[in-house]
Amino acid sequence: MPQFALDRSATFYVAGHNGMVGSAIKRHLEASGFTSVIGESSRDLDLTDRLATFEYFAEHKPEYVVLAAAKVGGILANNTYPADFLSVNLQIQVNVMDAAQQHGVERLLFMGSSCIYPKFAPQPIPEDALLTGHLESTNDAYAIAKIAGITQVQSVRRQHGRAWISAMPSNLYGPGDNYSEQGSHVLPALIRRYEQARLSGAPTVTNWGSGTPLREFLYVDDLAEAALFLLENYDDASHVNVGSGEDLSIKELAEMVAELIGYEGETLWDTAKPDGTPRKLLDVSLIESMGWKAKTSLREGIARSIADYRSRF
């Protein structure tokens, strides 16, 4: 039996429900029997607007909240606009959590990112590696905003006794991903690049960096399942890593994407571009010891993501 029997008829607010993560969580909650899952587009509710955020909570009175709203992007976006990534994410987090505290939300899940960990953290990265070393410089502003979010969850627990928790997913991908030239992460960027090359008949594709960094990927529907699992089974101050527990090199990833897309040209590597953190594999023993494990294989997930890209673009 779950530790927390969540009321399926209660109002459940998913902040960021139109994004890849939030939409997957909303789908999973509705498939799990929740009948009042709410959310607003950023056009209708700007979560950096403190007054509007508090008014939304006062009107809708959610009992449960998942905070998945965030300004996100890949290395290029994070490195180019660090002030925006810091400011916008801090504003969203503080406004949503302050409003949730004022309106008595007992169960809140804050969604972080694995970039919170030091650049040279031990591998696989345990939860207690947080704040033990220097961050990766290309996304330190975003990471510090997410660390602030974890700290706010812990502070509300300490000061107000609320059963709030945080989850730190590895690199996410899947339906609803961002495939834009400027804002995409590595896997959707590879899907876009190889599909465009296939369609145009380009003889070569050039990827950033050396291809040697190791990365772990988690299909977003697996994360959505983990989010509800944690809300029903976990109550502690420590954030929880959520990942597949397996990694591969960016070069191996590119080869898999090219194969699944059907691109037969040559892949080149621009080693003048940054690699980022050399390895980033999460230690997922905590969540696995509770009984949750990722289900979707990387090949299966990439194939679904390619189908999603082709259906949308």
Q: Please tell me whether 111 is known to bind a ligand.
A: yes
Q: Please tell me whether 104 is known to bind a ligand.
A: no
* Whether residue 142 lies in the annotated active site: yes
All domains of the chain in start order, with CATH: 12-174+216-245+282-295 (3.40.50.720)
One digit per residue, the tens of pLDDT, for the chain of length 313 reads 678 899 999 999 999 999 999 999 999 999 999 999 999 999 999 999 999 999 999 999 999 999 999 998 777 778 889 999 999 999 999 999 999 999 999 999 999 999 999 999 999 999 999 999 999 888 899 999 999 999 999 999 999 999 999 999 999 999 999 998 877 789 999 999 999 999 999 999 999 999 999 999 999 999 999 999 999 999 999 999 999 999 999 999 999 999 999 999 999 999 999 887 788 899 999 999 999 999 999 999 999 999 999 999 9
**Alpha carbons 213 and 211: distance in angstroms, whole number:** 6
**Alpha carbons 8 and 144: distance in angstroms, whole number:** 34
In this prediction the pTM is 0.94
**Alpha carbons 111 and 223: distance in angstroms, whole number:** 10
Q: Please tell me whether 305 is known to bind a ligand.
A: no
Question: For 200-212, b where at least 16 C-beta lie within 10 A, e where not — what string?
Answer: eeeeebebbbebe
Which amino acid makes up residue 200? S
Q: Pull the structure tokens for residue 105.
A: 């939300």
| Contact criterion met (CB below 8 Å) for 182 and 256 | no
**What separation in angstroms does the CA of 18 have from each of 13, 68, 190, 199?**
12, 10, 23, 29
**Alpha carbons 263 and 194: distance in angstroms, whole number:** 6
- Of 13, 142, 179, 263, which residue is the catalytic one? 142
Neighbours of 157 (CB within 10 A): 16
| Contact criterion met (CB below 8 Å) for 241 and 283 | yes
Q: Please tell me whether 281 is known to bind a ligand.
A: no
